[in-house]
């Protein structure tokens, strides 16, 4: 049982101003595994005050100092690998292999990449007639999601440290422990007191206080569109900058010349990845009408080759959904798909056979879906895919863009010209062709209602900076 009921403020763990706590539940066992403090406005005020005191020196620290801190964090992070992997499996329900090879490694990659990007990053540049200066934006409020306890947290922290911006972090209350381990790692790396602060709590208390706080200059949030809208409203009262990474309903366009067996494996892998709890998940599979029978047969075989079960047991590809509430949401969407007339190709409502305990949901694939159905338009955030059939490439592009979202897109095929054509016309922030590897220096963020701003690499540093033009700088 983890009873970690303190906040990390000004370089030390301190008691909350209130005794209320939040249960943290293991989604695979449905058991309470610990508690964290339900932080208050006063707790946030303390954290902001510490950040304000740290700002003058932290914002003027040298690039070399920041690179040193980032590298030291990366080293400390590696030393705590087993603890981080175990705790993410417990709080998120990710299989141990996924916690290690995805969550842990992505977090590490962001700290290493930020240090590397900082080596060649220029904070001052002489232009024709003026000097361009990039300075720390001020105090940053970071509000992170539960589905990637280290990835999203690490990229935000790394960008802020690289830019010299003190932060106040609110981790997701469902998965808080990985971030609390990070707090110790950051402190042990020698990051100055007050430059990093962590306050646990709920979104409607700690999150609202951060997004509306007059002394916080920038808010970086990853989560749902509804909460993103609320954050923008809160931030507008003090005209603070906001970066949002929100939802998605990403298309996977399978071209006619694609190997349907490999394409189906790609689609199934995308569905099982983090149990479908991924904002970039390819949840709309666009398939040529002529390939319907071939693809559906391949899809059934592909799904059957993956395994869902106890995340502590080896060999499983996916674990449970994060909570009972999320399980119920996914069930309601599966039922909506059935009610709308889509064909259940694989799965359906209820729990998989033999998995009565834990928030497990059947991996579900719908066929004969039209893009105006609820299951094709709304983000489900679970292992649910919709197959939509198209007549030609331009029809596929039309379907792909017929969404309020624009976070990611995927194209699978052989003809280089067709791959480039489709990739260039999908309106989304990141397009992946044929299972290309992740590039942590590539900008990450969305079009339309998928968000504002970019993270990762140089673009992630830029978010935490203001731009100043100095005219008449003496030589």
Residues taking part in catalysis: 245
Q: How far apart are CA 309 and CA 315, in angstroms?
A: 9
- Rg of the chain over Cα atoms, rounded to whole angstroms, equals 23
Q: If 0-12 CB within 10 Å is exposed, 13-18 middle and 19+ buried, where does residue 459 land?
A: middle
Distance of CA 163 to the CA centre of its chain: 21
Measuring CA to CA, how many Å separate 442 from each of 101, 124, 328, 431? 20, 22, 35, 11
Phi, then psi, of 391 in degrees rounded to 5: -95, -40
Q: CB of 50 within 8 A of CB of 9?
A: yes
Q: How far apart are CA 339 and CA 307, in angstroms?
A: 27
Three-state secondary structure readout of the chain: CEEECEEEECCEEEECCCCCEEEEEECCCCEEEEEEECCCHHHHHHHHHHHHHHHHHHCCCCHHHHHHHHHHHHHHHHHCHHHHHHHHHHHHCCCHHHHHHHHHHHHHHHHHHHHHHHHCCCCEEECCCCEEEEEECCCEEEECCCCCCCHHHHHHHHHHHHHCCCEEEECCCCCCHHHHHHHHHHHHCCCCCCCEEECCCCHHHHHHHHHHCCCCCEEEEECCHHHHHHHHHHHHCCCCEEEEECCCCEEEEECCCCCHHHHHHHHHHHHHHHHHCCCCCEEEEEEEHHHHHHHHHHHHHHHHCCCECCCCCCCCCECCCCCHHHHHHHHHHHHHHHHCCCEEEECCCCCCCCCCCCCCCCCEEEECCCCCCHHHHCCCCCCEEEEEEECCHHHHHHHHHCCCCCCEEEEECCCHHHHHHHHHHCCCCEEEECCCCCCCCCCECCCHHHEECCECHHHHHHCCEEEEEECCCCC
Q: How far apart are CA 175 and CA 88, in angstroms?
A: 8
For residue 64, the tally of other CB atoms under 10 A from its CB is: 10
The token pair that represents 473 in the structure block = 């700088």
């Amino acid at each position: 049982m983890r009873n970690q009921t303190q906040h990390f403020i000004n370089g030390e763990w301190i008691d909350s101003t209130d005794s209320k706590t939040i249960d943290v539940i293991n989604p695979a066992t449905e058991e309470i595994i610990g508690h964290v403090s339900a932080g208050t406005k006063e707790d946030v005020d303390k954290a902001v005050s510490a950040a304000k005191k740290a700002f003058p020196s932290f914002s003027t620290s040298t690039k070399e100092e920041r690179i040193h801190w980032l590298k030291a964090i990366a080293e400390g992070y590696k030393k705590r690998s087993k603890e981080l992997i175990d705790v993410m499996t417990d709080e998120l329900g990710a299989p141990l292999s996924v916690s290690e090879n995805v969550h842990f490694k992505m977090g590490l990659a962001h700290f290493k990449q930020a240090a590397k990007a900082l080596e060649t990053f220029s904070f001052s540049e002489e232009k024709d007639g003026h000097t361009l200066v990039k300075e720390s934006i001020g105090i940053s409020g970071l509000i992170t999601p539960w589905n990637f306890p280290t990835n999203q947290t690490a990229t935000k922290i790394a960008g802020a440290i690289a830019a010299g911006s003190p932060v106040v972090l609110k981790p997701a209350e469902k998965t808080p422990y990985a971030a609390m381990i990070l707090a110790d790692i950051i402190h042990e790396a020698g990051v100055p007191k007050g430059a990093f602060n962590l306050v646990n709590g709920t979104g409607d208390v700690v999150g609202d206080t951060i997004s509306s706080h007059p002394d916080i200059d920038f808010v970086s949030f990853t989560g749902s569109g509804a909460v993103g809208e609320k954050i923008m409203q809160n931030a507008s009262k003090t005209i603070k900058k906001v970066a949002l990474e929100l939802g998605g309903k990403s298309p996977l366009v399978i071209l006619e010349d694609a190997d349907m067996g490999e394409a189906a494996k790609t689609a199934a892998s995308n569905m099982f990845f983090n149990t479908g709890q991924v904002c970039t998940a390819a949840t709309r599979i666009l398939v040529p009408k002529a390939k319907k029978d071939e693809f559906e047969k391949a899809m059934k075989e592909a799904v059957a080759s993956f395994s869902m079960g106890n995340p502590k047991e080896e060999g499983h590809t996916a674990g449970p959904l994060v909570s009972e509430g999320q399980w119920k949401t996914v069930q309601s969407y599966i039922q909506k798909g059935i009610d709308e007339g889509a064909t259940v190709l694989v799965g359906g409502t209820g729990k998989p056979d033999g998995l009565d305990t834990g928030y497990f949901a059947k991996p579900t694939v719908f066929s004969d879906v039209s893009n105006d159905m609820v299951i094709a338009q709304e983000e489900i955030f679970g292992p649910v895919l919709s197959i939509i059939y198209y007549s030609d490439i331009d029809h596929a592009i039309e379907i792909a863009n017929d969404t309020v979202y624009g976070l990611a897109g995927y194209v699978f095929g052989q003809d280089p010209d067709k791959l480039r054509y489709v990739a260039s016309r999908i309106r989304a922030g990141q397009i992946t062709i044929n299972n290309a590897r992740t590039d942590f220096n590539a900008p990450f963020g969305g079009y339309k209602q998928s968000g504002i701003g970019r993270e990762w690499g140089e673009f992630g540093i830029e978010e935490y900076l203001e731009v100043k033009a100095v005219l008449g700088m003496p030589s």
